[in-house]
Chain A
Amino acid sequence: MTDLLKFSIPGKPEYVGVVRLAASSVANRAGFDVEAIEDIKVAVAEACNNAILHGISDNCCNYEIAFTLDEKKLTIAIDDNGKGYDIGNYQEPDLANPKEGGLGIFIIRALMDEVQINSNTGKGTTITMTKYI
Chain B
Amino acid sequence: MTLEMKSFFNSEMNQWKLEVKGEIDVFTAKNLREKIKDIYNKKQKDIILDFKQLNYIDSTGLGVIIGAYGRMKEKNNNLIIINAKQNVLKLLTITGLDKILIKTNF
Chain A residues packing against B (C-beta within 8 Å): 13-14, 16-18, 20, 38, 42, 45-46, 48-49, 52-53, 93, 95-96, 98-101, 103-104, 106-107, 110-111
- A93 proximity list for chain B (CB < 8 A): 95
- B56 proximity list for chain A (CB < 8 A): 20, 42
Complex CA–CA separation, A49 to B26 (angstroms):
7
Known: A95-B96, A101-B63. A42 touches B26 (CB 8 A): no
Chain B residues packing against A (C-beta within 8 Å): 1, 23, 25-27, 56, 58-60, 62-64, 66-67, 87, 90-91, 94-97, 100
Are B62 and A17 closer than 8 Å at their CB atoms? Answer: no
Complex CA–CA separation, A14 to B97 (angstroms):
26
Are B26 and A98 closer than 8 Å at their CB atoms? Answer: no
Are B91 and A52 closer than 8 Å at their CB atoms? Answer: no
- A45 proximity list for chain B (CB < 8 A): 25-26, 58
- B23 proximity list for chain A (CB < 8 A): 17
A-B residue pairs, 9 tightest by C-beta: A17-B1, A95-B96, A13-B27, A103-B59, A100-B63, A13-B26, A100-B67, A104-B59, A98-B66
Known: A17-B1, A42-B58, A101-B63. A53 touches B26 (CB 8 A): yes
- A13 proximity list for chain B (CB < 8 A): 25-27
- B27 proximity list for chain A (CB < 8 A): 13-14, 16-17
- A103 proximity list for chain B (CB < 8 A): 59, 62-63, 95
